Amino acid sequence: MKNSPKSGTMTRRAFLKRCGAAFLGAGMLTSGYAWLWEPRQLDVTRLTLRCPRLPEAFDGVRIAHFSDLHVGYHSRVRDMARLKDAVQAEAPDMICFTGDAVDSGTDALADYIPLLASMDAGLGKYAILGNHDYLVHPDRVADMLVTAGFRVLRNENVLINHQGAHLAVVGLEDQLMGSPDPVQGLNGVPKGLFTLLMMHEPDYADTAALYPFDLQISGHSHGGQVRLPWVGALLTPPGSRRYIMGRYAIGDRSMPLYVNRGIGETHLPIRFLCKPELTVLTLRTGEP
C-alpha cells in the first residue's frame, strides 16, 4: 500500500493550484477595479499658486481645469454629469478645458453638449483642441464646444477684464497634429500682462518657458492612465514624456506647469492608481 500524505500536509500540486487560484482571483479583482471602479471615480485637486504679475483685482481667482474627455465608445453621460456637478460645486471664476474632447469620432459628443453648456463661470469658459480632436475633425469639434459656451482658442488669446484690470488667456494649436505659434497666440497681449497658457501637450512647456507666459496648464498624458507603486506611469504618449502629472517648475524662470490627469480613457477603458481629475487652481498675487 502506498503511503498517503499526512493529514494537514499540502502537496506540491495543491499548493500550485492554490497559488494559481490566488493570482487569478487577484487579477480578476484588479481588472474589475481598473475597468469598472476607478474610471468612474473623480479626484478634485485643489492647489494655490502665487503669481508675481497677477493683478490685485484677480487675487483669489479660481480656475476649474479639466482635460481629455475622450467622448466616444467608452464614455458615459453619468460620468460627465458627475464632472459637471463637481465643477459647479467649486463655483469657479473661470473654466478651462485643455483638449481631446473626443476619442475616435464626433457623433457621441452631441449627447454631452447640454452638460458642458450647463457649466458656468463668471469670467468665461475657454477650450483648446487636442491631438484626437485633430485626428477626427477639428472644426466640427470646435463648433460643438462653441455651442456648449466655450471660447475655443487656436493660436489666439482673449483679454479678461475684471474690476478694471486685465489678464490674458492664450490657447495654442496642438503640438502633435497642429501648428502651435506662440508669437501669433500672444499677438495683442500688452507687455507685462499676466498670461495663462493653455496647451494640450505638457512637454511643450520647455518651449513656452522661453516666452512671457506666467503659467501653463495641460493634459494629454492621462497621468499614464495605469500606474504602479514605486514605478509610476507605465506608458505615456509623445508630448508627455517629461511632464506627466501634477505641478512642475520649468526653465530659468521656474514657470509653473500643471498637468491634469484627464477625465476619460483612450485605447483601453481602464485606469489603475490614476483616477480622473478635476483641478481647481486658486491664483494669488505675490512671490511663490
Q: pLDDT for 35-60, tens place per residue?
A: 444 556 799 999 999 999 999 999 99
| pLDDT of 44 | 95
CA angle 150, 152, 156 (to 5 degrees): 140
- Burial zone of 264 (CB within 10 Å; 0-12 exposed, 13-18 middle, 19+ buried): buried
d(CA 287, CA 240): 28
pTM over 0.85: yes
**220, pLDDT greater than 70:** yes
Q: pLDDT for 222-241, tens place per residue?
A: 998 888 888 888 889 999 99
Identify the DSSP state of 257: E
- Coil, helix or strand for 62? strand
| pLDDT of 233 | 87
Q: pLDDT for 244-281, tens place per residue?
A: 999 999 999 999 999 999 998 887 778 878 899 999 99
| pLDDT of 73 | 72
Report the candidate in 250, 55, 90 with the shortest Cα–Cα distance to residue 161: 55
CA angle 174, 178, 179 (to 5 degrees): 100
Cβ atoms of residues 63 and 94 within 8 Å: yes
- What percent of the chain has pLDDT above 90? 74
pLDDT band at 11 (very low <50, low <70, confident <90, very high): low
Q: pLDDT for 135-171, tens place per residue?
A: 999 999 999 999 999 999 999 999 999 999 999 999 9
Q: Exposure pattern of 136-169 as b/e (b: 16+ CB <10 Å)? A: bebeebbebbeebbbebbbbbbeebeeeeeebbb
